[in-house]
Chain A
Amino acid sequence: MPPSRPTPIVLLLLFALTAVSSSPLPPEDGIRVVSAEKRIDLTGPIVKVFLTLKVENAPGASDASQVLLAFTPTEVEHLAILKATRAEGKRKKKAYVPLSVEASDLAATPNGARLYSVLLSTPLKPGEKTTIEVLYVLTHTLEPFPAEIGQSESQLVYFRDSAVLLSPYHCLEQVTYIKMPSNRIESFTRVDPTSRAGTELKYGIYSNQMPNTYLPILVHYENNRPFAVVEELARKVEISHWGNVQITEQYKLKHGGARHKGVFSRLEYQSRPSMSGMSSFKNLLARLPPRVHSVYYRDEIGNISSSHLRTDSHKSELEIEPRYPLFGGWHCTFTIGYGLPLQDFVFESDDGRRYINLTFGCPLLDTVVDDLTIKVVLPEGSKNPQPSVPFETEQHIEMSYSYLDVVGRTTVVLKKKNVVGEHNVPFQVHYEFNPIFMLAEPMMLISAVFLFFVACIAYLHMDLSIRKSL
C-alpha cells in the first residue's frame, strides 16, 4: 500500500484526536517520533535490538523531560538490559546516558504493554528535535522449531516481533532491519513493503502509524551459532593483602537450543564435521584480565587438560573444551579458578578507604547467565563494606571462614538474574581496613610455636620421678 502523506491539517486533527482519546497519557503528549530505525541482530543466541528514535516536541506543548518506550509483556519478561544514550554536540557527537526508569503505571496501554521512560538530562523544548539511541537485549526469546533435532540436522528457530514499532507516540516514518546469521530463511511474514537482501530482511518504510499499533511477524530461520546458557554461576573473589586476589568460578553449562534426539554417533561426528553436529559446540572462550597466574580448569572427576591459555599485555584468553561436545539439552559442570596480582585490582581512595575494582558478569564470551552470584570475601578485620554496582542487584552480607581466621571474613554477596555480555562493566566494593590487622596472622603462628616451646620447658622443669633424684 503506497504511503500517502496526508495534509498538515488532517495530521493535526489526527494528532489532536489521539491526544484526546487515549486519555491518561503523560503530560509529554506533545512528543511524536519523526523517524525510527530498528536494527535487530539475530546472529547469536540472544536478540540485540538497536533503536534510533528521532523525536520532536510539538510546538505549543510543554517541556518534555522523558520519552516513553513500550514493550510487550513477553518482551519485558525476557529483557536483560536496556540502555539509552543521546547524541550531543554538532560534529563530534558525544553520547552519554540518561537514566532509564520503569514507569509502568502511566497511561492505559492496550493488552498490558509496559512502559519504560527514558529521562532526558535537559528537557526538550517545544519545537525541538533530538535523537535517542536505545539498545536492549532479549534472552530466551528464540524458540527452536522443530524442538527436537537429530545429530546431522540444522537448528531452525522462530523469532516473533512486530513489523511496526510499538510506541505510545505517533510515528511518522519507520523502518526495521533484521540481520540473520546465514542465508537460509525458511519463511517470514510479509507486511508490505518487505524486502530481503541476502542475510538481511527489511520491513519498511511505514508512514504515519498510530500510537500502540502492533503487527506481529514470525521469522523462521536457521541459527547454528552456539546456544551456550550458563544456568548457574557462582563466583567467589578472595582478597588477600599479602599480594593475591583469587577468583573461583563454578559453572553449570547447558546447550539451550533444540533438544537432541536419537543416538549420538561419535564416528559420524568426527568423520564428517561439516554435516554432523552443526548446532553443537565444543569450545568456549573466556576473557580474563592480563597477568593472571595459576589458572586451573577442573570438574568433579578431576582436572580437564583440554584447554589453552594465551596471554598478552591487555588480556588473557582461556579456551576451554569440555570433555564432550554439547548438543541440545546436554549439561556439563566445571570449575575455573585463577589468581590475579593485588595491585591491579585493589586501590586506596582519597578518603582512606580501600576498594576493589572488578568486572561484573561472566568471563565466557557470548553466553547468557540465568542466575549469577558473586561473593567478594574481604580480608579479616575489614569493616563497613559497601558495594557500588551500576545496575540493580540483590545484595547482602555474610561471614565466611578461611585459613587462620579468628573472627571470620566479611563477605559481600551480589545476585542477579538474566545476565548478558553487556553487563560486563566494572563495579567496586569499598571497605575500611587497618593495616595492623595484617599482623594478626603471623602473631597467631608465632604464639603457636611459642606455646610449643613453653610446653617443652614446663615438661623439662617438672620432676616426675617417684623418688627424689640425687
Chain B
Amino acid sequence: MAASSISTPVPVAWYPTLAAVMVALGLMLAASFFIYEATSSRKSRSLAKEITTRAVASVFLGFGSLFVLLASGVYV
C-alpha cells in the first residue's frame, strides 16, 4: 500500500538562504515605499503606485518571515 513519500514544496536545505534573501528583498521594497512617502508631497502621490509597492513588499516580508521561522526550528 505504501506509495511515494511526501516531500516538502521547497527543499529543506534552502530554508536559511531563502529566508535571508526574501527578508532582504522585502525590507528593501518596504524602504523604497517609505522613501516615496517621505519625499513626495501630498498632492503628487498616486495611490496605485503606493498600493502595488506595499503589496509586493508585504508578500516578500511575509514569506521571508515564514522561512525565518522554519529555518530557526519552529515548524509551523
* CB of A453 within 8 Å of the partner chain: yes
**Cα(A347)–Cα(B4), bound, Å:** 6
How far, in angstroms, from A450 to B6 measured CA to CA in the complex? 32
Enumerate chain A residues within 8 angstroms of B58, measured Cβ to Cβ: 446-447, 449-450, 452-453
Q: How large is the interface on A (under 10, 10 to 19, 20 to 34, 35 or more residues)?
A: 35 or more
**B14-57 with Cβ < 8 A to chain A:** 15, 30, 33-34, 37, 50-51, 54-55, 57
By a CB distance below 8 angstroms, the chain A residues around B69 are 403
Q: Tell me the bound Cα distance from A164 to B37 in angstroms.
A: 93
- Complex contact A241–B63 (CB within 8 A): no
Known interface pairs A243-B70, A453-B33; A343-B65 also in contact (CB < 8 Å): no
Q: Is the CB of B55 within 8 A of A347?
A: no
A446-B75 contact, Cβ under 8 Å, with A241-B8, A343-B7:
no
Q: Which of A346, A350, A447, A454 contacts B6 (CB 8 A)?
A: A346
Indicate if the CB atoms of B76 and A404 lie closer than 8 Å: yes
Interface string of A188-206 (1 = CB under 8 A from B): 0000000000000000000
Neighbouring A residues of B34 by C-beta, 8 Å: 456
Residues of A within 8 A of B54 (CB): 450, 453-454, 457
On whether the beta carbons of B5 and A346 are closer than 8 Å, the reply is yes
Type the 1/0 row for A391-410, where 1 means its CB is closer than 8 Å to any CB of B. 00000000000111000000
Q: Report yes or no: B66 in contact with A442, Cβ–Cβ below 8 A.
A: yes
Q: Decide if A448 is an interface residue (CB 8 Å cutoff).
A: yes
Find B66's partner among A243, A441, A452 (CB 8 Å cutoff): A441
Please name all residues of chain A whose beta carbon is closer than 8 Å to the beta carbon of B2 when the two chains form the complex.
347, 349, 357
Instruction: Decide if B9 touches A453 in the complex (CB within 8 Å).
Output: no
A331-352 interface (Cβ within 8 A of B)? 339, 341-344, 346-350
Q: How far is the CA of A452 from the CA of B34 in the complex (A)?
A: 13
Report the bound CA distance from A342 to B7 in whole Å.
7
Instruction: Report Cα–Cα, A342/B70, bound state, in Å.
Output: 14
| CB proximity of B46 to chain A, nearest CB, Å | 12
Q: Name A342's contact: one of B6, B30, B59, B62 (CB within 8 Å).
A: B6
Inside 8 A of B51's CB, which chain A residues have their CB? 457
> What's the minimum C-beta distance from B65 to chain A, rounded to whole angstroms?
5
Q: Could you tell me the distance in whole angstroms from the C-beta of A284 to the nearest C-beta in chain B?
A: 26
Given contacts A445-B62, A449-B58, whether A244 and B1 have CB atoms under 8 Å apart is no
Docked pose: A354 CA to B37 CA in angstroms: 49
The complex places the Cα of A456 from the Cα of B65 at a distance, in Å, of 20
> Bound state CA distance, A93 and B9, in angstroms?
46
Whether B8 contacts A403 by the Cβ 8 Å rule is no
How many residue pairs bridge A and B at CB < 8 Å?
A: 94
**Which of B3, B37, B62 is within 8 Å of A350, CB to CB?**
B3
Is the Cβ of A442 less than 8 Å from the Cβ of B3?
Answer: no
Interface centre among B57, B66, B73 (most CB of A within 10 A): B66
- Chain A residues with CB under 8 Å of B57's CB are 449, 453
CB of A242 closer than 8 Å to a CB of B: yes
Min C-beta distance of A402 to chain B, whole Å:
8
| Chain A residue, CB-CB nearest to B42 | A461
Interface assignment of A294: CB less than 8 Å from any CB of chain B: yes
Whether B8 pairs with A446 at a CB distance below 8 angstroms is no
| Contact between A246 and B75, CB atoms less than 8 A apart | yes
* Residues on B with beta carbons closer than 8 Å to the beta carbon of A443: 62
Q: Are A442 and B63 within 8 A (Cβ)?
A: yes
A240 within 8 A of B: yes
The answer to whether A294 and B55 touch across the interface, beta carbons within 8 angstroms, is no
Distance in angstroms between the alpha carbons of A460 and B54 in the assembled complex: 14
In whole Å, how far is A137's beta carbon from the nearest beta carbon of chain B?
Answer: 29
- Residues in A with CB closer than 8 Å to B73 are 294, 339
When each residue 431-453 of chain A gets 1 if its CB lies under 8 Å from chain B and 0 otherwise, what string results?
00001001001110111111011
A and B contact pairs by CB, cutoff 8 A, 26 listed: A240-B75, A241-B8, A242-B76, A243-B15, A339-B75, A341-B12, A342-B8, A343-B6, A346-B6, A347-B3, A348-B5, A348-B6, A349-B3, A350-B3, A354-B6, A446-B59, A446-B62, A447-B58, A449-B58, A449-B61, A449-B65, A452-B58, A453-B54, A456-B37, A457-B37, A457-B51
B residues neighboring A (CB under 8 Å) = 1-9, 12, 15, 30, 33-34, 37, 50-51, 54-55, 57-59, 61-63, 65-66, 69-70, 73-76
A interface residues (Cβ-Cβ under 8 A, vs B): 238, 240-244, 246, 294, 339, 341-344, 346-350, 354, 357, 402-404, 435, 438, 441-443, 445-450, 452-454, 456-457, 460
Given A357-B2, A449-B57, 8 more A-B residue pairs with CB atoms under 8 Å apart are: A294-B73, A342-B6, A347-B3, A442-B63, A449-B62, A450-B55, A453-B54, A457-B51
Which 5 pairs of residues, A with B, have the shortest CB-CB distance? A446-B62, A240-B75, A445-B62, A449-B58, A450-B58
